[in-house]
A and B are shown apart, each in its own frame.
Chain A
């Protein structure tokens, strides 16, 4: 396998419903933490609301799903990790986080320009009996380690196992769809192999409306965004970053 998995998120289609956030958390056994806040919660897929700063009928808002951008070049989290707990998978391009190796130093969180990494401040806990509802394909992470989006790697493993059983080397693309992509009611989030010229997502990533957040850092994120609105595209290079409730006039 020599893929470069990535996403194209059409911001003109995102309604900010949050289905992707809940589906991601359910798929990846992220515990519900009643005491969490926007600063301390673990939300590998986080939808932020951004306004154009205008009032009245000129007001515009857009919802930006933020997750690990799976940077291809000089991946900031990889270069700072003292434990080699982060690596870019050569076969898929997915930036992998190995919680078993993580010491919880949080250098990677500081290094990540997208604030897409989360520290587990509490022991993973569910109300009594609810552990029966955990996804058996994903291990629960311990308190004190960092985690992030891994493009639902467990689903990739399942797809690879299915292909292996069928005697194939390559997976069927239909078998590997991350939870957020599957959950999006408007098909705003699309997933595919950016290295495959025939993949529609690869085409979309090179459309004139496509852009990447903080492209000037030259980390080559594999998550692309799309919008026809100029003020939305301007967010990509915003000095304040795509933070929540940020207003851009």
Chain B
């Protein structure tokens, strides 16, 4: 067939005519839609959606959490505005925490060395160890119902109970040795402070309860030229907190103690404060030499601190010189400073000094990189495998929202609180909590549920404080312990409002030895380092891989 000029014209006209009809565009659209609905593309589950209140238990702060559940699975989390401390805020990792239970590094099988084992074998090995010598149990969140279970167990077995403290509690340790008040019974009264001097503490980057200080800062300090609350950040590097602070004081790394001594000397020499403590042996010139600041800058800092009282210094770790500065300032045991929040707090022995033990059981709340300083047989509970474990036994623990637990007072909080985080997800049969594991060895051991029930009964009998949920209800108004417990299980928080004196007396006879820069190196931690789970939520990839916002932290599986 011969193609003529007329055929071409007809063809062109036909094509043009087709293009003005919806047919090709509809086909294109359909192809596009069709190619986006392949069978292997995951589809969200359909089903009833409900919202449940709980608490984040991935660090000891216990921020209030609203969990949106679809078909029984958590599909989103948000903060709880009525929570007394977190006030609706969560850390960025908390927003992706509901996906952690399916993390590829989730532990599902008992491991003994490099091989798989069983719960029966692990229990038999731990029972044998208990019969052969003392055992130690290491707890990361002391004060929980599970902690009581651990303490009861070691008491019966003549073992020892040890804890790994949060950085905020560690920073309170010097006051414990000077006053006798347990560090766990103290907190920071930031809400009443006018000047806060942070010595390397990441106050705006997840220090303590992430929402507590950030909300306070946003309300009283952010953006204003002369804020009601002055945040001064003393730090070697220009951190996130330094960037937002009212003033950044750059010092040589590790010279925070020298600066504290220099500031205290100015305060005492210039009589800016009453003589509450001993004169530091370090001269102002020596402090200036160590910190890299001028003597004038140190004196200015001292004057700025007392210009708006109450002022408080916050250390990032156990730094006695900064605690001594607070004693000189009058911030130890005073409103707007370090206050006593509870008369019933206990002192805990540190896990850094376990002593001789036949076996050590490490709870899943203990940071993954904790290694017990002992040659004992180690039984390590963990929900996720952080890699490079030296534990003899690796025991799979319940994951996020899979375990009933209670939430005692957060470290650094100035008021005692109590809450219950019910298990919103059914844990798979292959995982067990440390308390369940111990119950298998000693069937007479008290359970977490019974301890929580007993604590609720204590609160009811005490008739003090308020339950803060959708609305605040004084405990005295509850007709029965069951009603009170019901509210706690629904996400309410008990807040101690009993009249008490925040004061305690510190006996500081001599200025603590100031470590030189070579011995003490300050490190700015943030929530990614304080995060206790050895893995990060998969969506943390947004923070670490897809933005230049943060550097990928070491030892974390993003």
Contact = CB atoms under 8 A, between A and B. Distances in A.
A34 interface: yes
A100 B33 contact: yes
A46 B542 CA distance: 8
A81 to B, nearest CB: 13
Given A26-B98, A126-B42, A34 B205 contact: no
Contact of A125 (B33, B36, B42): B42
Interface stretch (B208-216, B264-272, B319-327): B208-216
Interface in B90-125: 90-93, 95-96, 98-99, 101-104
Among B38, B101, B102, B250, residue most surrounded by chain A Cβ atoms (within 10 Å): B102
B365 to A, nearest CB: 23
A197 B539 CA distance: 38
A60 B243 contact: yes
A46 B79 CA distance: 21
Contact of B542 (A43, A133, A140, A144): A43
Interface stretch (B45-53, B402-410, B441-449, B471-479): B45-53
Interface string B70-83: 11011111110000
A43 B547 CA distance: 8
Among B101, B211, B547, residue most surrounded by chain A Cβ atoms (within 10 Å): B547
A224 B38 CA distance: 39
Interface in A210-240: 227-228
Given A49-B548, A60-B243, A185 B96 contact: no
A135 B76 contact: yes
A127 B32 contact: no
Contacts of B215: 185-187
B90 A19 contact: yes
Nearest to B78: A182
A21 B91 CA distance: 11
Given A33-B541, A102-B32, A123-B41, A43 B214 contact: no
A34 B541 contact: yes
A133 B92 contact: no
Contact of A131 (B44, B77, B218, B250): B44
A26 B96 contact: yes
Contact of B35 (A19, A125, A142): A142
Interface in A24-55: 25-27, 29-30, 32-34, 36-38, 40-43, 46-49
B204 A19 contact: no
Contacts of B547: 18, 21, 38, 41, 43, 46-48, 244
Given A127-B538, A132-B102, A185-B214, A18 B550 contact: yes
Nearest to B77: A26
Nearest to A41: B546
B32 A128 contact: no
Interface residues of B, number: 74
B238 A41 contact: no
B431 to A, nearest CB: 14
Given A48-B548, A125-B42, A126-B42, A136 B222 contact: no
Contacts of B90: 19, 183, 185
A36 B546 contact: yes
Among A10, A63, A142, A245, residue most surrounded by chain B Cβ atoms (within 10 Å): A142
A38 B218 contact: no
Contacts of A101: 29, 32-33
Interface string B42-67: 11111101000000000000000000
A34 B558 contact: yes
A15 interface: yes
Nearest to B105: A127
A245 B42 contact: no
A59 interface: yes
Contacts of B71: 132, 136
Among B49, B92, B542, residue most surrounded by chain A Cβ atoms (within 10 Å): B542
B92 A228 contact: no
Given A16-B240, A135-B76, A130 B540 contact: no
A149 interface: no
Interface string A75-105: 0000000010000000000000001111100
Contacts of B41: 123-124, 140, 142
Interface in B432-460: none
Contacts of A188: 218
A153 B91 CA distance: 24
B199 interface: no
Contact of B44 (A56, A83, A136, A187): A136
B257 interface: no
Among B46, B248, B543, residue most surrounded by chain A Cβ atoms (within 10 Å): B543
Contacts of B35: 142, 144
Interface in B204-261: 204-206, 210-211, 214-215, 217-218, 222-223, 225, 238, 240-241, 243-244, 248, 250
Contact of B102 (A25, A30, A129): A129
A23 B92 CA distance: 7
Among B89, B95, B222, B558, residue most surrounded by chain A Cβ atoms (within 10 Å): B95
B549 A49 contact: yes
A163 interface: no
A15 B214 contact: yes
Interface in B307-365: none
Given A22-B96, A61-B238, A123 B548 contact: no
Given A32-B541, A37-B545, A127-B104, A140 B44 contact: yes
Contacts of A34: 538, 541, 545, 558
B102 A41 contact: no
A130 B243 contact: no
Interface in B9-56: 28-29, 32-33, 35-38, 40-47, 49
9 contacts: A13-B218, A15-B241, A26-B76, A26-B539, A46-B547, A47-B549, A124-B41, A136-B47, A186-B218
Given A23-B78, A129-B101, 18 more contacts: A13-B218, A13-B223, A15-B204, A16-B243, A17-B204, A19-B92, A25-B542, A26-B539, A30-B539, A36-B541, A48-B548, A99-B36, A101-B33, A132-B45, A142-B35, A145-B36, A185-B90, A185-B218
Interface of A: 10, 12-13, 15-19, 21-23, 25-27, 29-30, 32-34, 36-38, 40-43, 46-49, 56-57, 59-63, 83, 99-103, 123-142, 144-145, 182-183, 185-188, 227-228, 244-245
Interface of B: 28-29, 32-33, 35-38, 40-47, 49, 68, 70-71, 73-79, 88-93, 95-96, 98-99, 101-104, 204-206, 210-211, 214-215, 217-218, 222-223, 225, 238, 240-241, 243-244, 248, 250, 537-543, 545-550, 558
Which 7 A-B residue pairs are closest in the complex by CB-CB distance? A41-B546, A12-B223, A32-B538, A185-B89, A142-B36, A186-B218, A131-B42
